[in-house]
Structure 1
Amino acid sequence: MNIGDRVRLLRAKEQGVVSRFLPGNMIEIEIEDGFRIPVLRSELVPVSPVESERLLKNNPYEPQKTVTPSAPAILASQGIYLAFVPVNDREYTLHLINNTDWEFPYALGEESAGASGGVQFHGLHAGVLKARSQQKMNDLYAHAKFENWPTFVVQGLWFRAGKSSLRVPLVKRFKARAATFFKNKTTIPVLNQPGFQTQLDADSAPDQQAPPSAGKPVAAKPHVVRPEDLKAEMLKPKTEQSGLSVEKPSSVIDLHIEELLPSGPGKRTPADLLKLQLDTFEKTLENAIANGMHDITFIHGVGSGALRTELHKRLSRHPNVRFFEDAQKQKFGYGATKITIK
């Protein structure tokens, strides 16, 4: 079993893609909507190539496209985007969007400073985006490490069957700037999800043709993150950055489903319920931090341990958490975690 393999749960209906190997014989898999959960290796089985082909229509990890009627005329010649979609208030997934009527063979990579002072290139993904489709990358980019995000490099060609103009290959570099990145939240084309995006082909004419003597395409200069812009963004109030509520929560929060959904879970799957618990945890913790609380306790129960494991994983890398520990066993048993906030 390797990263990228499709797997399914033995005791549930969820399927996903292996995204990371965790300690303790645990594997992290990514299910629908980019949500990741830890699962015991013994609870997973690989999806065979034949089964994978039969389920291709329902597979959320392949480029999704909207079926459009064939037409001899090109309707849209511009619309290549890099998009960052929030998974929560601290992490983003990267997508390459083709909202044109051309096919777009591409290569995507990152540029970063090397140890010797030069520039290193790291390839991320390559493939062909059909018209009106998108490709999601497996990497998560952390909000807290925004200043260390690399320069993204996209190289692409244009293809359309039949007669069409010869277009100059697209080579574009993009470096996110704090002053503008967080102000332009919008609905991402094709995905129809909220996020942040930059259009890569906005400055090229749709009917631009490659001159006969054209050599290598001239690469656009990367955008630069200015220190003063980043500092100004970091000093903004938390409510201005994320729009989260700052209502002061209780010092003890119960994450049991019967507390969160008093009328019952309805038709929600186990993955849906776990996502609800984690979203509640994230929002409540951020509200506690915004209100200057010293500590807060979350009751997660014992169960299979999946919720506790995920909470502790997120707390271990949270920049505003001083430490966390099992809450008073006399009061909560082994099913609660107390968090001390910086």
Structure 2
Amino acid sequence: MNIGDKVRLLRAKEQGVVSRFLPGNMIEIEIEDGFRIPVMRSELVLVSPLEAERLLKPSIFEPQKTVTPSAPAILSNQGIYLAFIPVNDREYTLHLVNNTDWDFPYTLGEESAGAGGGVQFRGLQSGVLKPKGQQKMNDLYAHAKFEEWPTFVVQGLWFRAGKASLRAPLVKRFKARAATFFKAKTTVPVLNQPGFQTQLDADVAVDSSSGASPAAPAANRGGSNVSTQHRPATIRPEDLKAEMLKPKSESIGSSIERPSSVVDLHTEALLPSGTDKRTSADLLKLQLDTFDRSLENAIASGMQDITFIHGVGSGALRTELHKRLGKHPNVRFFEDAQKEKFGYGATKVTIK
């Protein structure tokens, strides 16, 4: 079995292409909807060459649909955030959040002091944030090393299909300051989780005639948390020390709710009074939000494992859960949970 081979799961409907080999006799495959999932080698079988010719390709008998780009009314032009979500009372995860109705192609990196007093840049992530979307970065940032946090650099463009105003590129630098950072705790949009955030586009005009410039000096006007690498740091040691020595009743971890060891993600369990005309997309988002919140709370509260009941169905929810678990830095491993009790409709997660 080699990278690029077409494979099928023995005990599920999914089929896809081998994308890479993982430790522990695991293989990552990319399935039809673009998700990548880790699977045991013993659970896969190669697809014959005849089948492989048609795998992941639309049927020649299906009529091709022509999609004409449209430009619906813009509901939200601003709302690009850097958000720091507490994993526990010691570490934060970094998220880039797009709460606008624009596609947002971006790059995100770190600037820090290099050898000889220069500035060193490290790229973290690039991609396209869809409207009302977010991207979680892989690194964790320690509370105890707050003074050593780098300057975060976000560069982005704006795109909408059809007719839309031309917008200047977004270039922002953000350096966390103790005097203001810890006062900004709020519910982060899109994620709907408590955290600390800064809005990067609060002072960016939408109309190109407004004179908004992509150059660094103009791009760094506005919020007190945003600065260039040339602006002197204003972190006061006494402010940082006071924040770290706050009583537990005021700490980030004090509001963490320990979840049940078994979390049922079925919609009837999450919405016992009925779905109330929610769409399939709304219900899937509710299930994924419940999964993310329960997993993070389980990690933060020191649980060793947690089981999620997702059912069998089409397999879309199970696939997305496994994709997220495969990338989570605090997950040791995950597996089908108690087949005699749940069948193939639950996943047990062991936490580091």
TM-score with structure 2 length normalisation? Answer: 0.52
Task: Please give the residue correspondences for 1:75-224 in structure 2 after superposition, counting only pairs within 5 Å.
Answer: 75-209=75-209, 211=211, 216-218=215-217, 219-220=219-220, 221-222=227-228, 224=233
Whole-angstrom CA distance in 2 between matches of 1:119 and 1:42:
40
Asked whether 1:233 is paired with 2:212, we answer: no
Q: RMSD between aligned alpha carbons?
A: 4.2
Structure 2 CA distance for partners of 1:195 and 1:148, relative to 1, 3 Å: same
Q: CA–CA distance in 2 between the matches of 1:228 and 1:188? A: 28
- Number of aligned positions between the proteins: 220
Matches within 5 A, 1:247-326: 265=262, 279-281=300-302
Q: Deviations over 1:79-99 (max 9, x none)?
A: 000011122221111111111
Which residue in the other structure is 1:56 paired with?
Answer: 35
Deviating more after overlay: 177-186 vs 132-141: 177-186
- 8 Å contact from structure 1 (residues 90, 142) kept in 2: yes
Q: Secondary structure at 2:116's aligned position in 1?
A: coil
Shift of 1:196: 1.3
1:130 CA drift (Å): 1.5
Displacement after TM superposition at 1:149 (Å) = 0.8
* 8 Å CA contact 1:106, 1:157 repeated in 2: yes
Q: In 2, are the aligned partners of 1:168 and 1:210 still within 8 Å (CA)? A: no
Q: Deviations over 1:43-70 (max 9, x none)?
A: 63323x2x2x3473999xxxxxxxxxx7
Instruction: Identify which of 26, 35, 38 aligns with 1:44.
Output: 26
Q: Secondary structure at the match of 1:42?
A: coil
Whether the aligned pair in 2 keeps the contact of 1:179 and 1:233 (CA below 8 Å) is no
Shift of 1:236: 2.9
Task: Indicate the percent of aligned positions where both proteins have the same amino acid.
Answer: 65
Q: Report the counterpart of residue 289 of structure 1 in structure 2.
A: none
Q: CA deviation at 1:77?
A: 0.7
Q: Which whole-Å deviations, capped at 9, do the CAs of 1:85-133 have from their partners, x for residues lacking one?
A: 1222211111111111111111100010112111111111111112111
- Is the 8 Å Cα contact of residues 169 and 217 (structure 1) preserved in structure 2? no
- Give the direction of change, closer, same or farther, for the CA distance of 1:128–1:267 in structure 2 (3 Å limit): closer
Secondary structure class of the residue paired with 1:239: helix
* Larger displacement relative to structure 2 (105-114 or 85-94): 85-94
Match for 1:110: what amino acid? E
Q: 1:98 to 1:267 in 2, by over 3 A?
A: closer
CA drift at 1:276: 7.7
Deviations 1:120-158 (A, max 9, x none): 111111111121111111111111211111110001111
Deviations 1:193-236 (A, max 9, x none): 22111100111223344759x67453423473333432332343
Structure 2 CA distance, aligned partners of 1:277 and 1:206? 41
Distance 1:74 1:276 in 2: 35
Q: Distance in 1 between matches of 2:160 and 2:37?
A: 27
The 1:177/1:272 distance shift into structure 2, 3 A limit, reads closer
- TM normalised by structure 1 equals 0.53
In the alignment, is the contact (CA less than 8 A) between 1:168 and 1:209 conserved in 2? no
Shift of 1:171: 0.7
Deviations 1:166-186 (A, max 9, x none): 212111111112222222222
Q: Structure 2 vs 1, CA of residues 121 and 209 (structure 1 numbering), >3 Å: closer, same or farther?
A: farther
For residues 203 and 272 of structure 1, the distance between their equivalents in structure 2, rounded to whole angstroms, comes to 32
Task: Note if contact 2:87-2:300 (Cα within 8 Å) is conserved in structure 1.
Answer: no
Return the alpha-carbon distance in structure 1 between the equivalents of residues 77 and 92 of structure 2.
Answer: 28
Distance 1:56 1:143, change over 3 A: same
**Mean Cα deviation higher: 84-93 or 219-228:** 219-228
Structure 2 CA distance for aligned equivalents of residues 273 and 105 of structure 1: 30
CA 1:278–1:58 in 2, change beyond 3 Å: closer, same or farther? closer
Q: Which runs of 5+ in 1 are unaligned?
A: 1-9, 11-26, 28-40, 60-69, 246-259, 283-309, 311-342
